[in-house]
A and B are shown apart, each in its own frame.
Chain A
Amino acid sequence: MSGGGLGERQLVARVAAGDESALARVYDQYSALVFGVAVQLVGDHATAGDVCQEVFVTLWQRPDRFDPDRGSLRTWLAVLARRRSIDVLRQRGRRASREERGAPGSVACAPPDIEEAAAAMLEGERLRRALAELPAEQRTAVELAFLDGLTHREIAARLQLPEGTVKSRVRLGLARLARLLRPEGSVAAS
């Protein structure tokens, strides 16, 4: 598993030492990712901004929660943004569909289809190919969890499938993507 590089470790060490300029640097590097993850799930800029603020304040106050041996700072921030955003959704008590979040009158941006969004990225060709290789049922399950923030139970209810089947499809889909998106030359965990 790739860990944080020396640059990331030093940057977070500076944040831990109370260096505000280091926090600003982290924000400048990763705010688009954090904000984008939040907007996709919560559906509006104002709430996404609140989530973004929570994520970076968490890094400021608890930099010890980032373990560079477990993954990169980018991954950690993206995961934290997802978790905070999903917490917001759960507090709201409902999960709007992607179509509802893009409805007129809501301050939202139209959430991109994941394949279309990937296609927009210069570096997304590999991602697009990997997604296209997933069996349809795995891709659907992963998308519902990833893009709509649904739980296994909610996906099972929507697709009218046993929860165990959903768990397997999500697990297998992500594992397949992990193999397909593995950095060149690295060895995957079993």
Chain B
Amino acid sequence: MSAERDLGGWALDALDDVEQAEIDALLDRDPDLARTAGELQRVVAVLSEPLSTPPPVGLRRDVLTAARAAGQPARAAVDPIEVYAAQAGDLADALAAVGPEEWDAPVAAYGWTLERLAAHAVAVERHFLELVTSPDLRVAVDEPDHIALGGGDAPVDPATWAGLAQEVLHALRTLPAEALAREVVFNGLPMRLDTLCVVRGFELWTHADDVRVARGLPVVDPEPGVLRTMSDRAVRGLPSLLLLAGIVPPAAVARVVLTGAGGGTWDVDLDLEAEAGGEAPAPPTTTVVADVVDFCRLVSSRLRPDELDAEVEGDEALARDLLVGAQGIAM
């Protein structure tokens, strides 16, 4: 009864600090009371409407400047090797859970069976292991078709794949730090080794979901820290990815806003001639807003650009090109 009587004062900030804290705690525990309190707060907001007063013109600039200076809490990002580690663990678990009678289940994305997918995964991992354990980070033969088709239809022990991934991880973690910045070629694509770890992370996540879907299970999102690193590499790579897709990147800036845990906002200078760390980028020509997980599924070619629920402001044609180009990272 006492708490109920204090709700009006709570909504109007007419309580002292102790009473306020008591009611705050109570509302966290009592959803019905919280609903009532919320209605009273809504009334306070309605009562406030007539008080609306245009602020001084300069206040907008001051507020936005202050917000920029204050910054936002750092977004936790996982090291590229740990992206690979996290998703390798995910795929290992997914493969280990496949029952003996399930290996013939179809994998819709490829028209394969799970057995074939596992063989493909083993072939790719062997290739990756060869790269990361070679003295100069090169493979003897880099034939994308061979890698993609994998080891045929012979049954694959999931533990074989898991063992290969463990060897890869060990090799990655024992490489000198500067090796991760070196350019390597994998599957016909040149990129930094740490970026390749993230690209492999995308692939492993996608295949783990392929296994789950083939078994009638729901897909699973990566942890926010992993998503943050994956989305960051994908967005920053957009200028090069556009080129790979046969699209000449314009001298323009694109803003990509990825919402949800692990997301972020990037202003990407698409001009490949632009110097890193040069002048501040111009205002964006286009802004694309999408959920971070959906964007990463697009990057993994598990979502088509026309299937992505994205909000676009500005140049729509450029936004379409960006979404097409973003799929270039998929293997």
Contact = CB atoms under 8 A, between A and B. Distances in A.
Contacts of B5: 164, 167-168, 171
Between B32, B46, B287, the greatest number of chain A beta carbons within 10 A of the residue's beta carbon is seen for: B46
Interface in A138-190: 142, 145-146, 149-153, 155, 164, 167-168, 170-175, 177-178, 181-182, 188-190
Contacts of B257: 14, 17-19, 22
A181 B52 contact: no
A38 B311 CA distance: 34
Contacts of B265: 14, 17-20
A174 B53 contact: no
A72 to B, nearest CB: 7
Nearest to B55: A35
Contacts of B255: 19, 21
A23 B5 CA distance: 36
B8 A49 contact: no
Contacts of A124: 49-50
Interface stretch (B36-44, B189-197, B236-244, B246-254): B36-44
A126 B7 CA distance: 24
A182 B39 CA distance: 9
Contact of B8 (A24, A127, A153, A174): A174
Contact of B50 (A86, A117, A152): A117
A107 B44 CA distance: 26
Given A56-B67, A74-B45, A109 B53 contact: yes
Nearest to A45: B56
Contacts of B287: 21
Interface in A115-140: 117-118, 120-121, 123-124, 127
B100 interface: no
A61 B70 contact: yes
Interface stretch (B58-66, B83-91, B122-130, B140-148): B58-66
A70 B46 CA distance: 15
Contact of B64 (A27, A149, A167): A27
Give the interface residue-count category, chain A: 35 or more
A27 B62 CA distance: 11
B25 interface: no
Q: How large is the interface on B (under 10, 10 to 19, 20 to 34, 35 or more residues)?
A: 35 or more
Nearest to B54: A32
Contacts, number: 213
B109 interface: no
A127 to B, nearest CB: 7
Contacts of B259: 10, 13-14, 16-17
A86 B43 contact: no
Contacts of B44: 75, 78-79, 82, 146, 174
Contacts of B52: 32-33, 35-36
A30 to B, nearest CB: 9
Contacts of B53: 32, 35-36, 39, 109
A72 B46 CA distance: 11
Given A82-B44, A151-B16, A112 B51 contact: yes
A75 B59 CA distance: 21
A153 B16 contact: yes
A114 interface: yes
A105 B64 CA distance: 31
A70 B36 CA distance: 10
A37 B62 contact: no
- Most chain B CB within 10 A, of A40, A72, A118, A145, is at A145
B211 interface: no
A1 interface: yes
A103 interface: no
B21 to A, nearest CB: 13
A71 B50 contact: no
Contact of B49 (A56, A109, A121): A121
B50 A33 contact: no
B16 A114 contact: no
Contacts of B54: 31-32, 35
Given A49-B56, A170-B9, A57 B45 contact: no
9 contacts: A14-B289, A32-B54, A35-B53, A53-B66, A81-B48, A121-B49, A127-B49, A150-B14, A189-B38
Given A18-B72, A167-B6, 12 more contacts: A19-B265, A33-B49, A36-B51, A45-B56, A57-B63, A75-B44, A151-B15, A170-B14, A172-B8, A177-B47, A189-B35, A189-B38
